[in-house]
Amino acid sequence: MKKLFILPLMLLTFLTVSLTAQSTLEKGYLKMELTEASSDNEQMAAGLEMLKGSETEYFFDKDNSLVKQSMMGGMVNITTLVDNKTEGINMFFDMMGQKMHVETSTEEMEKSAESGQADAMGEMKVTYDESDTKEILGYKCKKANITSSGAEGFTFGLYVTEDIKASPKMIQGLQKVDLKGFPLELVIDMGQMKMVYTTTEIKKEVDPTAFKISADGYKKMSFEEFQESMGAMGGGMGF
């Protein structure tokens, strides 16, 4: 049961925790929610049920990008602050009371992905279906499909809008994918498991104080130390 639960939690974190928003808008706010999580496997379905309602908030302006993720009813909270100019990254993890502050960079995370998870996923390929479109909160989106040579049966569909551009470089494992536009909906299908992550709110303003994060109470560690800690926990959560 534990292993079956770790997989969807890892996947959800892998896909959402570190997305950097760089929009045609100079500043803004988006909220995404896990609206569907289902599985034919009874035990996995029980684990997915705990993740339903998980939210990710994106705050961005020309200088900063901030991602706040809350899962399992608030028992797991992850905050990622990115300096858009220096590409410096500060990540804050609060997982059932265990608090960690990780200071790293885009370059270090890319190297980690290239040597680990990216190799496991194999070659990532993206194609676009211009005939498959939908409107999400007033933004016209088209379907993008991502397939992996190293993950048979895995499909990753996104509905992206070119009106809000995004860099996929901060998504673990997708650094080499040329994604055109910002994804407002994510559809993950692994055969026996399906997850849908949808944008539920968009604002064209952002409170500048949102980028001021206090490190009080967090144990500071390097990215390497964090990876070792996650490995010891038995999953790595996609890092």
pLDDT of 33 > 70? The answer is: yes
Hey, which of 10-19, 41-50, 139-148 has the most confident mean pLDDT? 139-148
| Angstrom distance (rounded) from CA 168 to CA 66 | 14
Burial of 8 (0-12, 13-18, 19+ CB in 10 A): buried
190-212 pLDDT per residue, tens = 777 888 989 999 998 888 899 99
161, 136 Cβ separation under 8 angstroms: yes
**Which of the four pLDDT bands, split at 50, 70 and 90, describes residue 113?**
low
Q: What percent of the chain has pLDDT over 70?
A: 72
Q: Quick one: average pLDDT of 44-49? A: 82
3-state DSSP assignment of residue 124? strand
Higher pLDDT, 132 or 229: 132
Dihedral angle computed from the Cα positions of residues 153, 112, 213 and 14, in that order, rounded to the nearest 10 degrees? 10
Contacts 24+ apart (CB under 8 A), 82-91: 82/20, 82/106, 82/170, 84/20, 84/22, 89/18, 89/170, 90/213, 90/215, 91/18, 91/226
**Distance, CA of 35 to CA of 32 (rounded, Å):** 9
Sequence-separated (6 or more) residues with CB below 8 Å from residue 69: 13, 16, 17, 54, 55, 56, 57, 76, 77, 78, 79, 80
E strands present in the chain: 20-21, 28-39, 55-60, 64-71, 76-83, 88-95, 98-105, 124-136, 139-148, 155-161, 166-167, 182-189, 193-203, 219-221
**Terminal alpha carbon distance of the chain:** 22
For residue 103, name the pLDDT band (cuts at 50, 70, 90).
Answer: very high
How confident is residue 16, by pLDDT bands cut at 50, 70 and 90? low
Domain extents for the chain?
2-226
pLDDT (mean) for 2-28:
54
Read off the pLDDT of residues 83-98 as tens digits, 9 standing for 90 and up: 888 888 999 999 888 8
Q: Most confidently modeled of 20-29, 62-71, 147-156?
A: 62-71
User: Please, which pLDDT band fits residue 17 given cuts at 50, 70 and 90?
Assistant: very low
Quote the pLDDT of residue 209. Answer: 92
Residue 15 CA to residue 238 CA, distance in Å, equals 9
- Better-scored residue on pLDDT, 104 or 181: 104
CA distance 29 to 112: 29
Quickly count: other Cβ atoms within 10 Å of residue 153's Cβ: 9
**Hey, what amino acid is at 124?**
M
Q: What is the pLDDT of the chain when averaged over all its residues? A: 78
- Please report the pLDDT score of residue 11 as a whole number: 54
Q: Mean pLDDT lowest for which of 12-16, 46-50, 51-55, 210-214?
A: 12-16
CATH of 2-226, one of 2.50.20.10, 2.30.36.70, 3.30.300.30, 3.40.50.720: 2.50.20.10
Residues 160 and 229: their CA atoms lie apart, in Å, by 34
**Higher pLDDT pick, 105 / 172:** 105
Token reading at 180: 């055109």
